[in-house]
Amino acid sequence: SSMVSCRIGTNNLQAGVKAAEAALAVGEDELYIGIVNYDVNSANGQQRELGFRQTVEQDPRVKDITTINVLSTTEDARAGAKEMLLSDSRINVVVTFNEWTSLGVGWAIRDLDRGDRTQVVAFDSNVVSVGMLETGEVDALIVQNPYAMGYLGVETAFQLINGTRKIENSIETECRRLCAVQFADQIALFAGCGVLVQQVLGSGLVDLLAGKLHSLGLVLSVGINSGICLLDGGLEGGVAG
């Protein structure tokens, strides 16, 4: 649209590549991949799938890729994922590309008791999806950076209003891969002492970390500048920038 001065958000093609890297980390000799994507008319979902396909199709272990498109709701994704898995027992990797389809796929894996034999790569840091990293329904999450989007949005709007510098048409924010082993390692690390973490990856992850750390006698404090400070007992600490 000509009304938009700048788009700030995730590089969806690259996010799909990260999802592919997570899927290919599986140690299986043959990969049968099931994709649960949302609305076929959604540019975000299609770009993520394109980046994913372009990457996995280069790996000779990938024998087949099945794609279904569902409504962007938990229940529709749940039903679609179950039907897909039941129709092809060979599928050993499932990938999905947004928060709500991630929840649906996770519930489908739990319904079918497929956590031990299906690698699931999902998106975003909904607290339920993060919890599924621990319980085994999800093996990796591609986590976006909503804080950076908001921060850069306000900063860019201020610059546009005041004409302080030339604004780019697009500003891309980073996404990261979070797996169950990394999450467990973070909990173990935090249990030892008060530490600083440089970036909040999403409210779901922060909420779950806070609960886990509380059980270990630690307090999680999220600062206004997106740092996290863990206070061990009476230990004083600053907030990371």
Residue 29 reports pLDDT greater than 60: yes
CB 22 within 8 A of CB 14: no
Phi-psi region of 202 (alpha: psi -120 to 50; beta: other; left: phi over 0): left
Tokens standing for residue 204: 């779901």
> In the structure encoding, which two tokens stand for residue 238, read together?
């600053």
Return the DSSP state at 29. S
Picking from 6-10, 103-107, 127-131, which range would have the lowest pLDDT averaged per residue? Answer: 6-10
Give residue 114's pLDDT.
95
Percent of the residues in the chain that have a pLDDT greater than 70, as a whole number: 70
Average pLDDT over the chain, rounded to an integer: 77
Cα angle value 100/104/108 (rounded, 5°): 170
**pLDDT category, 105, cuts 50, 70, 90?**
very high
Evaluate whether 94 touches 109 at the Cβ level (below 8 Å).
Answer: yes
Instruction: Report helix, strand or coil for 142.
Output: strand
| Bridge partner list, 197 | 228
pLDDT of the residue at 124? 86
Q: Strand 62-69 and strand 228-232: pairing?
A: unpaired
The amino acid at residue 103 is L
Q: Is the pLDDT of residue 182 over 70?
A: no
Looking at the predicted structure, is the pLDDT value of residue 15 above 70? yes
Could you give the C-alpha distances from 114 to 26, 35, 73, 91, 122, in angstroms and in order? 15, 16, 21, 11, 15
This prediction has a pTM of 0.70
How far is the C-alpha of 168 from the C-alpha of 221, rounded, in Å?
A: 34
Residue 38 CA: distances (Å) to CA of 118, 142, 216: 20, 16, 39
Percent of the chain exceeding pLDDT 90 equals: 46
